[in-house]
Amino acid sequence: MKGSSSLDPVRYGVIGTGMMGLEHIENINAIPGAVVTAISDPNEQSRVSGSQAARLSDEGVFVDHRDLLSSGLVDAVVLVSPNHTHAAILGDIIESGLHFLTEKPLCTTVEDARTITIKAEGYGAVAWMGLEYRYKPSIARLVEEVRTGAVGDVKMVSIREHRFPFLEKVGDWNRFNRNTGGTLVEKCCHFFDLMNLITGSNPVSVFASGSQAVNHCDEEYNGEVPDILDNAFVIVDYANGARAMLDLCMFSEGSKNEQEISVVGDEAKVEAFVPENLVRFSFRDGRDVEEFAVEDPRIAYAGLHEGASYLEHLDFLDAIRTGKPPAVTLADGLLSVAIGVAAHRSITESRPIPLTDLLP
């Protein structure tokens, strides 16, 4: 696996400089020993915004990502393009041999995600799946407590996200399932990844109910009305007997916490609240409830995700420098996509979907 001398700054290229691309640029700008040396985006306005954020001359600004990959200007790439472009661009990145971090979802279909995962087997550089919710301070603390046995054997995981509607994106690409993979892939792969991480087991079945009840129903793009879900319940059963549930509502802007995660074991319950960054314990033996705030002093840029993207980049950079394997793999990304696709299929077919239907 390729490493990088700790004496040299690691040079980053960012492919896709819309809202999240700019977020990644600002995170990299805040990390000592990291520098954005190139960006690419086919949209002129996004290129201008990206080049300004990275403080680049024309030399490091590209329309086509393939020109960036072959420029010799970068050691690592961050892929932040629209979901439906991931499969093709990731194929080109893997051919380049560069270190890379790809934003979620890995791809919009299980077939494409499997193809990319297989293509990257034995990859000679760092291939990192961007699932930064693992790094939100209160969630990371919850996962740590579960791993140390603080709740006993995990039996139930509940994740509630009550939030605002999807934001506007360049070309309105995120208004249609064909571009996003569907809400339960685009948005919720984060939560399915957390379920997998917390239960420590393989998902075996997915059952879901959802609809487009409020958001985007009065919008029209080139004669088409958006078809993305704005609410759902998803239940995932695991091989070890644990089960997990997602409660998603995307027309609940006034919620105190956008995310609430509860893990119940046979001994105790632990909860995490975001963005309050609180962790709460309750116990079956009658002890008083314990609640405490969680902070991570390493965060130099909080950005849009409570510092999670910054912490993710620290680990990505460390893997580049030391040759460590990625903490979040493309296989993790594949599994999170598969659960999302199964959930959409379950809604359409009104039945539980075995994961073996998608991942033999």
**pLDDT tens-digit map of 45-88:** 999 999 999 999 999 999 999 999 999 999 999 999 999 999 99
Look at residues 334, 40, 79, 355 and name the one whose alpha carbon lies nearest to residue 181: 334
Judge contact between 258 and 210, C-beta under 8 A: no
Judge contact between 240 and 266, C-beta under 8 A: no
- Report the CATH architecture of 10-131+312-327: 3-Layer(aba) Sandwich (3.40)
- pLDDT score at 93: 98
Q: What is the mean pLDDT of residues 140-167?
A: 97
Q: What are 266-321's pLDDT values in tens digits?
A: 999 999 999 999 999 999 998 999 999 999 999 999 999 999 999 999 999 999 99
Nearest-angstrom CA–CA distance, 71 and 91: 17
Nearest-angstrom CA–CA distance, 313 and 139: 17
- What is residue 136's DSSP assignment? S
Amino acid at 25: I
Average pLDDT, whole number, for the chain? 96
Domain boundaries defined on the chain: 10-131+312-327, 134-304+335-357
Q: What are 11-41's pLDDT values in tens digits?
A: 999 999 999 999 999 999 999 999 999 999 9
- Do domains 10-131+312-327 and 134-304+335-357 share one topology? The answer is no
Q: Is the pLDDT of residue 6 over 90?
A: no
* Domain 134-304+335-357 CATH (choose: 3.30.450.40, 3.30.360.10, 3.40.50.300, 3.40.190.290): 3.30.360.10
pTM of the model: 0.96
Q: Is the pLDDT of residue 188 over 90?
A: yes
Residue in this structure with the two tokens 């130099």, named with its chain if needed: 300
Amino acid at 87: A
Nearest-angstrom CA–CA distance, 339 and 197: 13
The Cα angle at residue 170 between residues 89 and 30, in degrees rounded to 5: 70
Q: What are 85-108's pLDDT values in tens digits?
A: 999 999 999 999 999 999 999 999
- pLDDT score at 1: 38
Nearest-angstrom CA–CA distance, 297 and 199: 28
Judge contact between 263 and 270, C-beta under 8 A: yes
Peptide bond into 105 cis (omega under 30): yes
Share of the chain above pLDDT 70, in %: 98
Q: Is the pLDDT of residue 340 over 80?
A: yes
Share of the chain above pLDDT 90, in %: 97
Residue in this structure with the two tokens 């915004």, named with its chain if needed: 49
Strand 243-249 and strand 231-238: the pairing is antiparallel
Name the region of 107 (left: φ>0; alpha: ψ -120 to 50; beta: rest).
Answer: beta
Q: Is the pLDDT of residue 353 over 60?
A: yes
Nearest-angstrom CA–CA distance, 191 and 43: 30
Nearest-angstrom CA–CA distance, 265 and 181: 33
Look at the chain and count its residues: 360
Look at residues 195, 194, 185, 171 and name the one whose alpha carbon lies nearest to residue 228: 185
- pLDDT score at 91: 98
Backbone angles phi, psi at 305, to 5 degrees: -135, 40
- pLDDT score at 116: 98
DSSP letters along 193-229, please? Answer: HHHHHHHTS-EEEEEEEEE--STTTT--BTTB-----
- pLDDT score at 360: 85
Q: What are 205-228's pLDDT values in tens digits?
A: 999 999 999 999 999 999 999 999
149: Cβ contacts below 8 Å, ≥ 6 apart: none
